Every structure is written in structure tokens, then in C-alpha cells.
């Protein structure tokens, strides 16, 4: 087990968020046909649910990100449901009820799972199979690439890597030409928007993106700072959008896990502390960025910045420009 996977497993076990075995599938078998045709059934929402999985992918396609798609009811799913319920003027209780499910299906009834043929680009690397958990050890690596094809494919299709394996039992992700089942996460043509304002709702652990007319165009679950390393409050503007950023650790950050007192650089890559994108703000040293651990977004605290999944911060970065406003709301 790589140290990256090990620290994820131990963190989730410690928080009581990872069962000792995969959750049982609710109601019916977890096949593409079962998920694509899943109908609302309140009794089928527990465990790993085809109904929940279908709803998560539809939410992702609509711009209301549930975070890493895992087929399980979670706080991240509830955060997305609240926003879609407000859009369709439904009761915004954050639960997946029949009215909300029907609204999602009415808007987009296309298949949510489909086949994908693994390409040479998916498997070519370079990969870094064993990524250390300590920042100072990371600084000795030339790159912080994906650990392997499975992780790359999971991020490409916005899915929890464990669910990707469950959807493709006995399949190796290392061979070009192999066909696998993945979420169909592409948004409808013409759905790209320009974002003029971002709201970071700290208590709700949610980022909202608005177009120049004030219309909500996307929402994302987020990790926010802790009491020890708080996220700022107030109104700021975006100063830069950097893709594949190199991170500079400054001793004044005083991270508890860093033992030395010197500055150092951490290489770029999807497994870097900043993930694949850095959106810098006029608040010095603060920004919105990706993460190496998408499963922890909305669950774990950050060091003060706003963490999104890599795919969500990439989507946001494609819609914002320097000068857009970012408001942190208590």
C-alpha cells in the first residue's frame, strides 16, 4: 500500500468514515443498466445505492458537484442537493426525495454510466507509485504525479477509486484497449459559463459561483480552515490562476507537521498539496486550490485555504479570470 493510500485509509477509519468492507449495494446489483434506469425508492438509499449514484452523476453534470462520486449519501451530497432544490424551487432540506430526483431526471435523462476504452495516454505515466505523506519528503521528489492509471482514471471521471473498482470487478486498469464502466460526467454542450463572483460559505463548507447577472452557475463542496488555521473573512479579488503550481512552503506558515525551520518548494502535480490549480487572492498566502485527497474534501479541515477536488477547481478555473471577487461568508 502506498503511503498516500495508507494515510487516506487511516484518516477515514479514524473518523469512522470508512467501513471495514465495501458498503452493501442497496436494492439491486450495481451494473450500468441498473444505475442508468434506477427509479426513486426511499428504501433503496442506504449503503451503496444505484439511485444515489445516478443522482450524484446528474448533479455533477448540472454543475452541483457532490464531490467524489461514491454512490453513498453524505454531507457533500446534501450540500449539492440544497442548491439544486433552491434552483427548482423545492423544499431545500438537502435530502434526496422523489421531487428532487424527478427534477434531475426531467432536466437530464441521459445515461449516467457508459463504457470507456483505456488509452495509452491513460497508462503512459510518468507515475509516482509511492508518495510520502510528509511535506519535507515530498520536497525531495521531482514531480507529484498520479500514483498509477487507476488514480488518473478516477480523477478523470470524478469517481472514488474504490467505486471505480467495484464497477469493474477483476479488471486491470493498466492495459490500453481495456474497456471499463465509468460515469458519463461531460456537461451538455454550451453549458460553459463566465463567473464574476465566488461565495465561500464557511459554515456550509461550500463554494458557490455566480455569473455576471448574479445567477448561480455552479456549487462545490470545500474543505475550510480550522480554528487553529482559519480561513479569512471578508471580500477579496482573484489575482492569478495558475495551473500545475509549484508550492513554496514558508516557515511562517508554522505547520505542525513540518519539523524544520527552512523554506522549501514542493513540486507540481495532482498529488501536490495544491493539486492541479491555484487561484490566488488579494488575501496574502490564501487561495482556492485542488488536493491530493479528493475523498477528504468537505470532511477534513484545510490549513486556511479553500480546497476543492482537482476536477472541481479545474472547472472553476476555466470560468474565472483575474479580478473576479471572492467573498468569505461566516
The span from the CA of 28 to the CA of 49, in Å, is: 8
> Mean pLDDT across the stretch 182-197?
82
Over 50: is that where the pLDDT of 64 sits? yes
Residues 103 and 238 both lie in one domain:
no
Active site residue 305: yes
Active-site residue (options: 93, 158, 289, 303): 289
Residues 112 and 202 both lie in one domain:
no
Residues 90 and 51 both lie in one domain:
yes
Query: Mean pLDDT, the chain, as a whole number?
Result: 90
Active site residue 158: no
Read off the pLDDT of residues 137-173 as tens digits, 9 standing for 90 and up.
899 999 999 999 999 999 999 999 999 999 999 999 9
CATH number of the domain to which 297 belongs: 2.40.440.10
**pTM of the predicted model, to two decimals?**
0.90
| Long-range contacts of residues 121-125, Cβ cutoff 8 Å, at least 24 apart | 122/149, 122/152, 122/153, 122/156, 122/173, 122/176, 123/149, 123/173, 123/174, 123/175, 123/176
Q: Report the phi/psi class of residue 110: left, alpha or beta, with left for phi > 0 and alpha for psi in -120 to 50.
A: beta
Residues 36 and 161 both lie in one domain:
yes
Number of domains observed in the structure of the chain: 2
Active-site residue (options: 93, 158, 303, 305): 305
Q: How many residues does the chain have?
A: 330
Q: Is the Cβ–Cβ distance between 309 and 68 less than 8 Å?
A: yes
Give residue 131's domain range: 1-189
**Residue where a domain terminates, one of 171, 189, 207:** 189
Residues 21 and 157 both lie in one domain:
yes
DSSP letter at 284 equals T
The span from the CA of 234 to the CA of 327, in Å, is: 6
Residues 117 and 221 both lie in one domain:
no
Residues 289 and 323 both lie in one domain:
yes
Read off the pLDDT of residues 200-212 as tens digits, 9 standing for 90 and up.
999 999 999 999 9
Residues 40 and 175 both lie in one domain:
yes
Residues 278 and 175 both lie in one domain:
no
Residues 127 and 252 both lie in one domain:
no
Residues 149 and 276 both lie in one domain:
no
Q: Helix (H, G, I), strand (E, B), or coil: what is residue 216? A: strand
Amino acid at each position: 500500500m502506498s503511503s498516500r493510500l495508507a494515510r487516506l485509509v487511516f484518516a477515514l477509519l479514524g473518523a469512522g468514515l470508512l467501513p471495514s468492507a465495501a458498503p452493501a449495494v442497496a436494492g439491486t446489483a450495481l451494473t450500468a443498466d441498473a444505475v442508468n434506469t434506477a427509479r426513486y425508492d426511499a428504501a433503496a438509499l442506504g449503503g451503496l445505492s444505484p439511485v444515489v449514484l445516478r443522482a450524484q452523476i446528474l448533479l455533477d453534470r448540472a454543475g452541483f458537484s457532490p464531490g467524489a462520486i461514491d454512490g453513498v449519501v453524505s454531507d457533500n451530497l446534501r450540500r449539492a442537493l440544497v442548491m439544486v432544490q433552491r434552483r427548482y424551487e423545492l423544499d431545500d432540506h438537502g435530502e434526496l426525495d422523489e421531487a428532487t430526483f424527478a427534477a434531475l431526471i426531467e432536466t437530464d435523462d441521459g445515461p449516467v454510466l457508459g463504457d470507456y476504452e483505456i488509452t495509452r495516454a491513460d497508462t503512459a505515466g510518468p507515475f509516482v507509485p509511492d508518495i510520502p505523506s510528509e511535506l519535507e519528503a515530498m520536497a525531495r521528489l521531482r514531480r507529484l504525479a498520479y500514483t498509477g492509471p487507476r488514480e488518473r482514471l478516477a480523477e478523470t471521471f470524478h469517481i472514488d477509486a474504490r467505486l471505480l473498482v467495484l464497477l469493474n470487478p477483476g479488471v486491470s486498469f493498466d492495459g490500453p484497449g481495456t474497456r471499463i464502466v465509468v460515469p458519463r460526467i461531460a456537461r451538455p454542450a454550451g453549458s460553459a459559463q463566465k463567473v464574476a463572483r465566488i461565495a465561500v460559505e464557511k459554515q456550509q463548507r461550500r463554494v458557490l459561483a455566480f455569473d455576471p447577472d448574479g445567477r448561480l452557475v455552479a456549487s462545490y463542496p470545500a474543505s475550510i480552515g480550522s480554528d487553529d488555521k482559519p480561513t479569512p473573512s471578508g471580500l477579496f479579488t482573484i489575482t492569478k490562476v495558475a495551473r500545475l503550481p509549484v508550492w513554496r512552503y514558508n516557515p511562517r506558515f508554522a505547520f505542525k507537521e513540518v519539523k524544520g525551520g527552512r523554506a522549501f518548494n514542493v513540486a507540481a502535480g495532482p498529488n501536490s498539496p495544491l493539486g492541479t490549480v491555484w487561484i490566488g487572492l488579494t488575501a496574502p498566502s490564501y487561495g482556492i486550490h485542488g488536493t491530493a485527497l479528493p475523498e477528504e474534501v468537505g470532511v477534513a479541515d484545510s490549513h486556511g485555504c479553500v480546497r476543492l477536488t482537482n476536477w472541481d477547481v479545474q472547472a472553476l478555473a476555466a470560468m474565472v479570470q483575474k479580478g473576479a471577487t471572492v467573498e468569505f461568508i461566516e
